Structure 1
Amino acid sequence: MKNKIINSGTNVLILALFLGLIGGISADLLLRFYWWQDLSGVTTSSGELNLSSGLYGRSNVVIQDPKKVVVNQDLKVQETINAANDSLIGFFKKLPEITDANQTFDKSHYYDLTKPEFTGLALTADGWIMVAGKKVNAKFPLDDYVAVGKDKKVYSLDQVVEYKKQDLGLLHLAAVNNLLVKNLLAAENLSVGQMLLAVNWNNDATLNSIVSLPKKYQVFKSSDRLTETIILDETIDARFKGSWLFGLGGDLVALIDDELQVAPVANMNSALYSFLKTKQFTTPFLGVNYISLSNLVLASAATDSAGKSGAVVAPDESKTAVVKSSPAEIAGIKAGDIIISVDNIEINNEHDLGTTIQSYHPGDTITVKFLRSGAILSADIKLGELK
């Protein structure tokens, strides 16, 4: 009798273990099914899996090297494409107006929305459109073209302006006051690893990421010039010539020119602001060349009086540290001074001097603190302008 009880208990235990094993396998398979249902097919070269949605909610967990798979960014990507479409404008060779309402159908009388001559992006609600590349210059024949929005509205053109420093043209649509525009991303919001989405007129889209911001690693820098391009992980396809790169928050980050070079709009923010205000392209002018201490480590820390951050005013390849008659020279800035802050914004690896200066406008007055012979000095400087 005792042996029967033992055998019966053993059988129950084995059955329980067997059922538990089956249940565990089933749960694992079910979990894997729903897990992979929640994954998108978007890949990155970062080798990380970002679990910021799906089963993990907002936990923002990151798993290293999961075969270049990124969790469910589909919705965010589609939202960005839709938002971009709201601001895209196509330009077409003007067709003659049809006066005979009874005329038979003729495709040549219609603008083929799949084949614009070039495209642009709304800069202002009242009709200014940015066009990347060299398609638009000061001699652009306004009367030969029309603009068409994604909503199929047709606009005439009445003004053209060329910004030669960035291969950027501006065209103005007549009698418009309700275009949807995008925020222009500031330079301080650019970062290596940032995901960007290229979008063109035909709704082609591709994800990419920033791998290098060249300005950050240059030895000699100017307070008055920003880098012309940023470097992406993947080569941009030719379909995206003259189109735009957006952050997944919908902000405009960069334009793609005729050579597929990527120019951050942060380089143009000040000039565009100046144009909209004064109808001239100008940028702020301080007038110093410098070396960022954030990129340097002194061999002997015991003699390091300069510190680990700031911008040392130093001669560039042309032997100029402070530009003659510049606002910096007038304020008394000299070679060897270490600029440590601008309006209490510390100059460091996160806030480069040139990027900081270019976030201002010509005519702004800034307070610059700098280190000279161990003493901290301060100067109020009115920024000049470069045209």
Structure 2
Amino acid sequence: MSDKFDFETPNYQPSYSPINFEIPRTIKKKKSLKGYLFAGFIGGLIGALLVSIIFMGYFGVNFANFKNDVNSAISGLNLESSNNLEPVTRTVVLNSGNDSFVTDVAKKVGPAVVGIKNKSTAYNWWTDETQEVTIGEGSGVIISKDGYIVTNNHVVSGARSISVILSGEKEVPATIVGTDALSDIAVIKIDQKYVTSVAPLGDSSKVKVGEFVVAIGNPLGQEFAGTVTFGVVSAVNRKLDVGNGVQIPLIQTDAAINPGNSGGALVNSSGQVIGINTAKISQTGVEGMGFAIPINYVKPIVNDLIKYKKVLRPTIGISVMEYYDRAGNIVGLYISKVYSGTGAAKAGLKEGDLILQIDGKKVTTFSDIQSILSTHKIGDVITIRVLRDGQTKDFKVTLGAPINTND
């Protein structure tokens, strides 16, 4: 049974119920037989010393000489290095000061994380008027002094208008610059006069499993704006289908990510944004499995959206159809058209070729091609293996810019 991945949809209507807290039980460590024998030995030794001291006091024995003899005997026991004494708990110090790095991160990045309202219109039958209503809320991160904000596509999807709630709870108008459903990334913009803080972007290629991270966002909407949660990087390069057939490499974390956190920041201990929070596993019995889109994956998409209002993804220059064998199994992708002037045409691909592999990876669906191309940029060279006239052939294809397939 496959996991169900819930992306934090902005259309969340919170329902409130009593919260049950479970108090963890204290686990007591059982002593071994050796422990009991050792304790008995020490107790007997102490008892013998007390009797000896009383005896010496009564008969006038030289106590100073006896004290030296006892110290020598105890030193010979080497009690401090005994393996029987094991620590029950260990303390990890995150910061030697009064505050942890989480406090510093919250102060540094928190003001650059904003709330986003997705608005539409609804007809009011009682007043016979059309009114503006908020149909969802999410989070976003201010990434430039010009007022550009990165968020998730699903946060602003379907909006007739949007507004941004700044860290000081001031609501200001915003416009959608560009959206990209394949990556679930969108860019919106506010007037630069409202920008008081910009989040520094890090390098997600340097993220290591086990390092501390902080998630900042607005879970459940503005009522819990600026919520900060803490955790670790559980895994990197988790290839998950975000619901459009394309697998995106995600950062997995156990920092709490809840509805409304979408579009918020995942921040490292240096106060740099390393990911945009986007999803969590919503399944009975599963806790602490949230996901963020790596910031290195986000950066080129944001640049394209700002510059072109869309993402310029590399293309091969072909149209394909799924090819089935007699048993009904997909065996490859049939090239139905090769567009002139493209990398495919220049490499020698022809209509009727059956694509078997790209860069050594088996492809049977168009989504397979999309997933492979998502890791490349325009100008990259890929190797396509096809079946032609009963023989396999390899072609080196230079990826080009998007083309107009309607020509």
TM-score (norm 1): 0.50
Q: Which is greater in Rg?
A: 2
Give the aligned partner of residue 146 of structure 2. 126
1:174 lines up with 2:191 in the alignment:
yes
SS state at 1:134 partner:
helix
Deviation at residue 156 of structure 1 after TM alignment: 3.3
The CA distance in 2 between the partners of 1:128 and 1:78, in whole Å, is 25
- Equivalent positions of 1:62-141 (< 5 A) are 75-91=100-116, 118-132=138-152, 134-137=154-157, 139-141=159-161
The 1:10–1:367 alpha-carbon spacing in structure 2 relative to 1, beyond 3 Å, is farther
Q: CA RMSD in A?
A: 5.5
The CA distance in 2 between the partners of 1:228 and 1:158, in whole Å, is 28
Deviation at residue 129 of structure 1 after TM alignment: 1.4
Q: Which amino acid aligns with 1:183?
A: L
1:163 lines up with 2:151 in the alignment:
no
Which of residues 223, 233, 236 in structure 2 aligns to 1:209? 233
Q: Give unmatched runs, 5+ long, in structure 1.
A: 1-7, 41-52, 55-71, 95-115, 219-223, 289-315, 341-352
The 1:282–1:368 alpha-carbon spacing in structure 2 relative to 1, beyond 3 Å, is closer
Give the aligned partner of residue 15 of structure 1. 71
Q: Which amino acid aligns with 1:254?
A: I
Deviation at residue 88 of structure 1 after TM alignment: 0.8
Q: Give unmatched runs, 5+ long, in structure 2.
A: 1-63, 120-135, 218-224, 283-289, 319-328, 361-368, 387-393
Deviation at residue 154 of structure 1 after TM alignment: 4.5
The CA distance in 2 between the partners of 1:153 and 1:241, in whole Å, is 17
The 1:321–1:195 alpha-carbon spacing in structure 2 relative to 1, beyond 3 Å, is farther
Deviation at residue 162 of structure 1 after TM alignment: 5.3
SS state at 1:89 partner:
strand
- Equivalent positions of 1:1-387 (< 5 A) are 12=68, 14-19=70-75, 24=80, 36=90, 38-39=92-93, 75-91=100-116, 118-132=138-152, 134-137=154-157, 139-142=159-162, 145=163, 147-148=165-166, 150=167, 152=168, 154=170, 156-161=172-177, 163-165=179-181, 166-176=183-193, 179-183=197-201, 185=203, 196-200=213-217, 201-211=225-235, 213-215=237-239, 226-228=246-248, 230=250, 232=252, 234=254, 236=256, 238=258, 241-242=261-262, 243-249=264-270, 250-257=272-279, 262-265=291-294, 266-286=296-316, 317=330, 319-320=332-333, 324-325=337-338, 329-330=344-345, 331-332=347-348, 335=355, 339=359, 358=374, 361=377, 364-368=378-382, 379=396, 381-385=398-402
SS state at 1:277 partner:
helix
SS state at 2:234 partner:
strand
Q: Which amino acid aligns with 1:262?
A: F
TM-score (norm 2): 0.48
Deviation at residue 163 of structure 1 after TM alignment: 1.9
Q: Could you give the per-residue CA deviations for residues 274-330 of structure 1, whole angstroms, max 9, x where no partner exists?
A: 112222233233479xxxxxxxxxxxxxxxxxxxxxxxxxxx947217785375523
The CA distance in 1 between the partners of 2:148 and 2:311, in whole Å, is 14
The 1:198–1:126 alpha-carbon spacing in structure 2 relative to 1, beyond 3 Å, is same
The CA distance in 2 between the partners of 1:277 and 1:184, in whole Å, is 21
Contact 1:126/1:178 (8 A) holds in 2: no
The 1:167–1:37 alpha-carbon spacing in structure 2 relative to 1, beyond 3 Å, is closer
Aligned residues: 275
The CA distance in 2 between the partners of 1:235 and 1:258, in whole Å, is 10
Mean Cα deviation higher: 247-256 or 122-131: 247-256
The CA distance in 2 between the partners of 1:332 and 1:190, in whole Å, is 41
Q: Could you give the per-residue CA deviations for residues 36-94 of structure 1, whole angstroms, max 9, x where no partner exists?
A: 55546xxxxxxxxxxxx99xxxxxxxxxxxxxxxxx9x844444333331421235799
The CA distance in 2 between the partners of 1:170 and 1:320, in whole Å, is 34
Q: Which amino acid aligns with 1:85?
A: G
SS state at 1:204 partner:
strand
Deviation at residue 124 of structure 1 after TM alignment: 2.6
Contact 1:322/1:328 (8 A) holds in 2: no
SS state at 2:305 partner:
helix
Percent identity of the aligned residues? 12
SS state at 2:275 partner:
strand
Contact 1:270/1:284 (8 A) holds in 2: no
The CA distance in 1 between the partners of 2:93 and 2:281, in whole Å, is 34
